[in-house]
Amino acid sequence: MDSNLMQFIDAERYPTVFTTDELVGQADLPFERRRYRKGEIIFGAEERHPFTYHVAAGIVRLYLSSAEGAVKTLFYHAVGTQFAFQGFKRDRMTCSTAEAVTDCELLAIDYADLIDFCDEHTEFYMAYIEYLFSITNSQTGEIANLSFKTGVQRVAQLLYALASDGETTVPYSIDELAAIIGTHRNTVSNALSHLRKLGLVEKSARPVRVRDAEGLRVFAEEARAGLSLK
């Protein structure tokens, strides 16, 4: 997973609850080390699941699936972050599916142990509130993006993020690009066709290659400002 894609999905830095070293150093908070292979499902949606996870190595993707088979990526969680907060609900039911994007090492914390720990160290309740509030703010911004940005603008922004450190070949399929920005593959295909006409993406359909990263950035900004586009 490209580091710029992480920045695109997690546009803001979140306050950490624990670093890995801090969590490992907590003698009164037990955890279990678990390893997952690339592509392995950690838990599914609408599953009663008793654990929260700290990412010690690798990358985890959280996504939603519709009844029609459409997939929307919510977050990519990298080293030092936590995910799976359903234990703070009464029913402990998950909302999304968690998948290992790479080989991962996760530190699994049972919620019964976590609540006991936070009761004894109340500052961690505030740390979790701040962390969850930051994620909620980011998701609100993503909903606004879905509402106000056109498909071609969102594709241009994503391609710019992927190419911003000089990498011109996009290592994702159209279906994967669609999942990242939460749209259908036809929207991505039509957007790529438009961007090719503008000379921002190479003419060849496979693989997708960025021709003018700076032009993609300007295009996305002009679209956001409501300026007329060629």
For residue 5, what pLDDT is reported?
47
Q: What is the CATH number of the domain that holds 71?
A: 2.60.120.10
Q: Does residue 80 belong to any structural domain of this protein?
A: yes
Residue 208 counted as domain residue: yes
Same domain, 138 and 99: yes
CATH code: domain of residue 215: 1.10.10.10
**Where in the sequence is the domain holding 220, given as residue range(s)?**
149-224
Tokens of 123: 């500052």
- Mean pLDDT along residues 23-48: 94
Examine the domain organization and report whether 213 and 126 are in the same domain. Answer: no
What pLDDT digit, counting tens, does each position of 73-98 carry?
A: 777 788 888 899 999 888 889 999 99
Rounded to an integer, the average pLDDT of 50-67 is: 89
211 located within any domain: yes
Strand segments, DSSP code E, in the chain are 32-36, 41-43, 51-57, 60-65, 71-77, 82-83, 97-100, 104-110
Question: Do 176 and 142 belong together in one domain?
Answer: no
Same domain, 7 and 115: yes
Q: In the prediction, which pLDDT does 166 show?
A: 67
**pTM: predicted TM-score of the whole model, two decimal places:** 0.65
Tokens of 213: 């990263």
Q: Is the peptide bond before 207 cis (omega within 30 degrees of 0)?
A: yes
136 and 158 inside one domain: no
Do both 26 and 140 map to the same domain? yes
**Count of domains in the chain?**
2
**Is 6's pLDDT higher than 50?**
no
Lowest mean pLDDT among 47-61, 118-132, 141-155, 163-177: 141-155
Q: Is residue 230 part of a domain?
A: no
Looking at the structure, do residues 161 and 101 belong to the same domain, yes or no?
A: no
Q: Between 171 and 86, where is the model more confident?
A: 86
* Peptide bond connecting 30 to the previous residue in cis, omega within 30 degrees of 0: no
| CA-based nearest residue to 139, from 223, 89, 72, 185 | 72
**Same domain, residue pair 7 and 102:** yes
| Same-domain pairing of 129 and 166 | no
